Amino acid sequence: MLIKLEKFKTCDVKILASWIPDKEFLLQWAGPAYSFPLSEDQLQEDINMMSSENPKTLMFAAKIADTNEIIGHIQLLGIDLVNSSACIGRVLVGNQKLRNKGIGIQMINGILDIAFETLKLHRVYLGVFDFNKSAIACYEKAGFKIEGTSRDFRKINDEYWSLINMSILEEEYKKGFRLENATLKDGKK
């Protein structure tokens, strides 16, 4: 199953919100940027900013190429054209049945294409909680390197979550860390 990234639109908010089951999941996905339940009003400012001349955030809906069905969401945040860097965030494969099937790596490769080929950035970074082993494996597969850990970064209820900091540089991306077509678990492209 091949996916494509398309600009996230207001009409996509309802689908995205349906994937966020509770406050804790929202905090894991977006940090304190939004409150539960996720609503159009919360996302509208980010959607509107994408139309500016030099947007600091780009939001994308991941869609199945053949059917146009929305199955995921990903953002490029903190776009800094002066320092040629940006942060990947708010990555989500919405349908749980589609997780661990190669969709995430396709989303990451797609956003890296935008970051390095379209925006001509030098560095792309991200943060992922240390318990999210499948996401960490996906990012490493895409060529991200672990830079370090922000220990006890966020307090959720009565526990602390540590954040793994990762990045990929333009030359690493260009040397072939990017996978042309991620192979799904069943061996199909």
DSSP 97: G
Residue with the two structure tokens 């947007």: 55
How far apart, in whole angstroms, are the C-alpha atoms of residue 9 and residue 11?
5
Q: Are strands 85-93 and 123-129 parallel, antiparallel or unpaired?
A: parallel
Dihedral over Cα of 121, 118, 89, 172: its sign: negative
The answer to whether the Cα torsion of 128, 134, 135, 137 is positive or negative is positive
Q: Where are the domains of the chain?
A: 3-177
> What is this structure's pTM?
0.89
CATH-assigned architecture of domain 3-177: 3-Layer(aba) Sandwich (3.40)
Asked if 128 and 161 touch (Cβ cutoff 8 Å), the reply is no
Cβ atoms of 182 and 139 closer than 8 Å: no
Q: Which tops the pLDDT comparison, 52 or 144?
A: 144
What is the structure's pLDDT at 177?
52
What digits encode the pLDDT tens for the residues 57-90?
Answer: 999 999 999 999 999 999 999 999 999 999 999 9
Rg (CA), the chain: 16
Which 3 state secondary structure label does DSSP give 4?
strand
Q: If residue 89 lies in a helix (H) or strand (E), which one and from where to where?
A: strand 85-93
Residues in the chain: 189
pLDDT digits (tens, 9 = 90+) for 121-159: 999 999 999 999 999 999 999 999 999 999 999 998 899
One-letter amino acid at 113 equals: D
